[in-house]
Amino acid sequence: MKGLSILGATGSVGANVLRIVEAFPDRLSVVGLSAGGNVERLAEQVVRHKPRIVSVATREASEALARLVDLRGVRVGIGQDGSVEVATHAEARMVVAAAVGAVGLVPTYRALEAGKDVALANKETLVMAGELMVARARARGARLLPIDSEHCALHQCLDGRAPEEVRRLVLTASGGPFRTRPRDTFGKVTREEALNHPTWNMGPKITIDSATLMNKGLEVIEARWLFGVPAERVAVLVHPQSVVHSMVEFVDGTVLAQLGVTDMRLPIQYALSYPQRWEAAIPGLDFTKAFKLDFDVPDHNRFPCLPLAYRALESGGSMPAVLNAANEEAVAAFLAGRIPFTAIPESIEEVMDAHPASSVRDLQEVLEADAWARRRCGETLVRRSAAV
């Protein structure tokens, strides 16, 4: 029986993780659940999964949770400290990092420090502090397993092979809702259009990241740290069908691809069951019907977030954390209707231009870069929202 602590239990990935737990009650159990403010959903999860420990973002949320469900015998944590307690609970063998954004960084890092295996959906944490996290995992003998479907695909294709045997990692991208939309109409993109992803049903932040292609940029950085392959050997191809989840081209010219249906339960189950494979109740691809696989190169002019991510990786040090923080702030402002879609990459670029990258030796320095970028981006967004 593998005990799990789930950070971001109430989100889209979190809900799918719990569906896998329910499908394998004799192999997986819930030790801890951490969430932000969705106490209704968390209360249902507490009743169903009987965790030892839960955590929510604020005291008000913990009081609201206590009104909804009997918490006798359940430890209740609050804020970052609460999430860290969930992530380091003695009975948790694996931590599923499925919170959204920088809020997951410290708890995920502490989980690795405590020697827990981590199944990682929360890619922002690797973007911010990839080198530190990978080093910590290695030092503590903890596994860092990707949940992102692309990185799950790469993990399967690589199957432990060394970076020197890899010519290129090829991340596929659906292209998002604006794959064929003319650039001169991007200024008119509405929140609803941007939230309407063609192939995946996900939380709002990653859905906007998919529309700007920043999601793919974050994944390039994630792949660099997970697999030790430098950025110039991590390529992106647009693949609208989302059937090939990613590919590895080896130095001998062989290309291995992983194919599957677009259902997040597949990569989640892979990470939870690794190194075993468990029989899934999810239907596979239907090869009795004809389907096409198209591939195209991404258009960096229409989707400037992707080259910004490569630039952040090349600058190194604090720059990826700055990219991530500016992106989180800009996406939140777009979702709140404060800035147009085109202001997302423009704001990020402005913040990056103002930041001299410095080396980051520990988590504190990463968090300082994050805080600086949020302040600087805040100024940019105020100016841009006044112009709307």
Ligand X SMILES: NC(=O)c1ccc[n+]([C@@H]2O[C@H](COP(=O)([O-])OP(=O)(O)OC[C@H]3O[C@@H](n4cnc5c(N)ncnc54)[C@H](OP(=O)(O)O)[C@@H]3O)[C@@H](O)[C@H]2O)c1
- The residue at minimum Cβ distance from ligand X is 11
Q: How far apart are the first and last CA of the chain?
A: 54
Cα dihedral sign, 145-148-149-150 = negative
Could you say which DSSP state residue 90 is in?
T
- Identity of the residue, 37 or 307, whose beta carbon is nearer to ligand X in the bound complex: 37
Judged by CB under 6 A, which of 3, 4, 5, 13 binds ligand X? 13
Binding to ligand X by residue 202, rule CB under 6 A? Answer: yes
Binding to ligand X by residue 96, rule CB under 6 A? Answer: no
Minimum separation from the CB atom of position 129 to ligand X (A): 14
**Residue pair 129/71 in contact by the 8 Å Cβ criterion:** no
Minimum separation from the CB atom of position 23 to ligand X (A): 17
Minimum separation from the CB atom of position 96 to ligand X (A): 10
**Footprint of ligand X on residues 258-287 (CB under 6 A)?**
264
How far, in Å, CA of 238 to CA of 240, rounded?
6
How far, in Å, CA of 254 to CA of 256, rounded?
7
Judged by CB under 6 A, which of 20, 21, 32, 36 binds ligand X? 36
Judged by CB under 6 A, which of 30, 98, 171, 366 binds ligand X? 98
Question: Any idea what the Cα angle at residue 188 is, between residues 184 and 194, rounded to 5°?
Answer: 105
Helix (H) or strand (E) holding 258: strand 255-259
Q: What contacts 24+ positions apart, CB below 8 Å, involve 367-372?
A: 367/105, 367/106, 369/318, 369/321, 369/322, 369/325, 370/102, 370/128, 370/321, 370/322, 370/324, 370/325, 371/325, 372/322
Helices (H), 24-171: 39-49, 59-68, 79-87, 105-113, 123-140, 149-158
Binding to ligand X by residue 257, rule CB under 6 A? Answer: no
For residue 93, count CB atoms less than 10 angstroms from its CB and return exposed for 0-12, middle for 13-18, buried for 19 or more. middle
Judged by CB under 6 A, which of 2, 37, 143, 378 binds ligand X? 37
- Identity of the residue, 202 or 305, whose beta carbon is nearer to ligand X in the bound complex: 202
Judged by CB under 6 A, which of 14, 51, 175, 320 binds ligand X? 14
Judged by CB under 6 A, which of 33, 54, 96, 100 binds ligand X? 100
CB under 6 A: which stretch of 7-15, 272-280, 330-338, 370-378 binds ligand X? 7-15
Q: Cis ω on the peptide bond leading into residue 275 (within 30° of 0)?
A: yes
- Identity of the residue, 33 or 343, whose beta carbon is nearer to ligand X in the bound complex: 33
Binding to ligand X by residue 49, rule CB under 6 A? Answer: no
Q: Which residues, 6+ apart, have CB-to-CB distance to 22 below 8 Å? A: none
Minimum separation from the CB atom of position 190 to ligand X (A): 20
Minimum separation from the CB atom of position 15 to ligand X (A): 8
Residue 291's CB is within 10 A of a number of other CB atoms, namely: 9
Judged by CB under 6 A, which of 24, 200, 250, 372 binds ligand X? 200
Could you say which DSSP state residue 296 is in?
B
Judged by CB under 6 A, which of 3, 4, 5, 8 binds ligand X? 8
How far, in Å, CA of 6 to CA of 30, rounded?
8
Distances (CA, A) of 60 to 80, 86, 323: 15, 19, 32
**Footprint of ligand X on residues 128-187 (CB under 6 A)?**
148
How far, in Å, CA of 214 to CA of 22, rounded?
33
Judged by CB under 6 A, which of 99, 153, 305, 323 binds ligand X? 99
Minimum separation from the CB atom of position 325 to ligand X (A): 14
Binding to ligand X by residue 198, rule CB under 6 A? Answer: no
CB under 6 A: which stretch of 154-162, 200-208, 223-231, 269-277 binds ligand X? 200-208
Q: Write out the residues near ligand X by the rule CB under 6 A.
A: 8-14, 34-38, 57, 83, 98-100, 103, 121-124, 148, 200, 202-206, 264
